[in-house]
Amino acid sequence: MQVSSENKSGRQKVLSDPNTRELLRRLIVNSMPLAPEVGPDGLLHYLTAEAVMGDSPATEAWIEEMLASGILKKTSYKDYVTCPIHFRADPLIQLECTKCKARKMRKTALVEHLYCGYIDADSKFEKGGFLVCPNCKRPIHRADEMRSSGVWYECQNCLTKTSIPKVVFTCRDGHEFNTSDLRLTQAYTYAVEESVVAQLKNALILAPALVELLGSMGYAASSPATMQGRSGTTHSLDVYATKGGEPGGETGDVAIQIAVDAAAVEASAVISFFAKTYDLKPKLAILITIPSASEAAKQINTGYGITIVEDADGSQAVKKVRALLELSGKPKPE
Ligand SMILES: [Zn+2]
Ligand SMILES: [Zn+2]
Ligand SMILES: [Zn+2]
């Protein structure tokens, strides 16, 4: 899927927020959609999101933002029975006798013994903890020897029988409502858009792997990194690592950016990375392009000095970066 570059840069901006990245990482790693749940207060919540975003209003705003930038999509919805006053989704449900209003309805199921065709209330088939047919007296061992043939409710107060008793809901905030005044609240389940999953898998899994690699090679690395350039401008990078470097002297800094696209990564990724590296002047600037870099991207880079690493799916990127670091660590031939 191709996304417009305007939409793409909007996404990049949204994805630079640490909370957004963390929440999306949790959803992707657990391959779990963001689904509504009934919270301790009886209201519907997106608990996974609230754990990262803080509270319900922040989560609602975040979901709106994610939908607008095409990162989340609605997958399905459910209608929840909620109280018309407090919107609580955890009412106590009882069955009421339509005649005497007692809430002492006993459920009776009619079952048929398939062997002899006898039909009676399920309680009649019970004998001393075993199931025995009251007609043919044969013991019943398996559920498939019987068939359900209807359910009714009997009031234990006035003995009225009905198949459709009145349903009464009691809100935990202390009032009752019924099927005619209940409220149905629609709540959506959200999933991370597939193209974003691919992009984030690399950013959220590849970036930490690069930090680990750099750490093992004696660098102090962070991801995502926020760095101040010589101009005073702050730049955000997927990975930034420092090593040695006396003040004023040549540094061993490494800046890494990961660009993922459905097709070859465009020149704009090189240009935006160059704007950062020009200001930060790391010793090594690596742009990892997945699945590849376009010809235009390579061409524009000839004067920029960025090392472009191409990798089909990101799985070999760490190995390639390691080789580059080992090469750059060697003294230059003079
Ligand atoms: Zn209520
Ligand atoms: Zn009754
Ligand atoms: Zn029988």
* Per-residue pLDDT reduced to its tens digit, 143-188: 899 998 889 899 999 999 998 899 999 999 999 999 999 999 999 9
pLDDT at 212: 93
Q: Is residue 285 part of a domain?
A: yes
Q: Is residue 67 part of a domain?
A: yes
Residue 29 to residue 290: CA distance in whole angstroms: 20
Q: Considering every ligand atom, which ligand is closest to the CA of 85?
A: 1
> Cα(36) to centroid of ligand 1, in Å?
19
The tens digit of pLDDT for each residue in 322-331 reads 999 988 866 6
Q: Is residue 157 part of a domain?
A: yes
> Cα(172) to centroid of ligand 1, in Å?
7
Q: Considering every ligand atom, which ligand is closest to the CA of 132?
A: 3
Residues 11 and 67 in one domain: yes
Q: In which domain, by residue range, is 54 found? A: 5-85+183-192
- Catalogue the E-assigned strands of the chain: 37-38, 44-45, 72-82, 92-96, 105-113, 119-121, 126-127, 130-131, 146-155, 161-162, 166-171, 175-178, 183-192, 220-222, 225-228, 234-237, 239-242, 254-260, 284-290, 307-310
Residues 224 and 317 in one domain: yes
Q: Considering every ligand atom, which ligand is closest to the CA of 173?
A: 1
Residues 61 and 188 in one domain: yes
Residues 10 and 50 in one domain: yes
> Cα(85) to centroid of ligand 1, in Å?
5
Q: Which residue has the tokens 């609580």?
A: 88
Q: Is residue 334 part of a domain?
A: no
Residue 272 to residue 279: CA distance in whole angstroms: 11
pLDDT at 1: 40
Band of residue 334 on the pLDDT scale cut at 50, 70, 90: very low
Residues 16 and 117 in one domain: no
Q: Is residue 21 part of a domain?
A: yes
Q: Check if the beta carbon of residue 185 is closer than 8 Å to that of residue 85.
A: no
Q: Is residue 175 part of a domain?
A: no
User: Does the structure show a pLDDT above 90 at 16?
Assistant: no
Q: Is residue 176 part of a domain?
A: no
- pLDDT above 90 coverage of the chain, percent: 65
Q: What is the CATH number of the domain that holds 308?
A: 3.40.1350.10
> Cα(171) to centroid of ligand 2, in Å?
23
Band of residue 5 on the pLDDT scale cut at 50, 70, 90: very low
Residue 261 to residue 273: CA distance in whole angstroms: 15
Q: Considering every ligand atom, which ligand is closest to the CA of 99?
A: 2
pLDDT at 333: 54
The token duo for 171 is: 């809100």
Q: At 289, phi and psi to the nearest 5?
A: -110, 125
> Cα(232) to centroid of ligand 1, in Å?
55
> Cα(155) to centroid of ligand 3, in Å?
28
The identity of residue 43, as a single letter, is: L
> Cα(129) to centroid of ligand 3, in Å?
17
Q: Check if the beta carbon of residue 110 is closer than 8 Å to that of residue 119.
A: yes
The tens digit of pLDDT for each residue in 212-244 reads 999 999 999 998 899 999 999 999 899 999 987
Residues 153 and 300 in one domain: no
User: Does the structure show a pLDDT above 90 at 67?
Assistant: yes
Residues 55 and 107 in one domain: no
Band of residue 205 on the pLDDT scale cut at 50, 70, 90: confident
pLDDT at 170: 97
> Cα(163) to centroid of ligand 2, in Å?
13
User: Does the structure show a pLDDT above 80 at 29?
Assistant: no
The tens digit of pLDDT for each residue in 238-270 reads 999 998 754 444 568 999 999 887 788 899 999
Residues 68 and 98 in one domain: no
pLDDT at 245: 57
> Cα(150) to centroid of ligand 3, in Å?
18
Residues 223 and 312 in one domain: yes
Residues 299 and 155 in one domain: no
Last residue of a domain, one of 192, 227, 252: 192
> Cα(35) to centroid of ligand 1, in Å?
23
Ion ligand 3 residues within 5 Å by Cβ? 113, 116, 118, 133, 135-136
> Cα(151) to centroid of ligand 3, in Å?
20
Residues 65 and 202 in one domain: no
Counting the structural domains of the chain, the total is 3
CB-based contacts of 177: which residues, under 8 Å, 6+ apart? 83, 84, 91, 169, 171
Of 190-194, 230-234, 311-315, minimum mean pLDDT range? 311-315
> Cα(252) to centroid of ligand 2, in Å?
85
Q: Considering every ligand atom, which ligand is closest to the CA of 146?
A: 3
> Cα(120) to centroid of ligand 3, in Å?
10
CB-based contacts of 7: which residues, under 8 Å, 6+ apart? 69, 70
Q: Check if the beta carbon of residue 158 is closer than 8 Å to that of residue 97.
A: yes
Residues 201 and 322 in one domain: yes
DSSP character at residue 316: T
Strands 225-228, 175-178: pairing is: unpaired
Q: Is residue 177 part of a domain?
A: no
User: Does the structure show a pLDDT above 80 at 204?
Assistant: no
> Cα(109) to centroid of ligand 3, in Å?
16
> Cα(217) to centroid of ligand 2, in Å?
79
Ion ligand 2 residues within 5 Å by Cβ? 97, 99-100, 102, 155, 157-158, 160
Mean pLDDT on 280-289: 93
